[in-house]
Amino acid sequence: MPYPIKCHECGSSNFPYRSDRSGNVRRYNCKDCGAVFIATIKGLVSDSAVSEPHNLKDEALHWAKVVKSETST
Mean pLDDT of 25-46: 89
pTM, two decimals, is 0.75
Confidence grade of residue 46 (pLDDT, cut at 50, 70, 90): low
CB 48 within 8 A of CB 23: yes
Radius of gyration of the chain (CA): 13
Strand stretches in the chain, DSSP E: 17-19, 25-29, 36-41, 61-65
Buried b (16+ CB within 10 A) or exposed e, 50-61: eeeeeebeeeeb
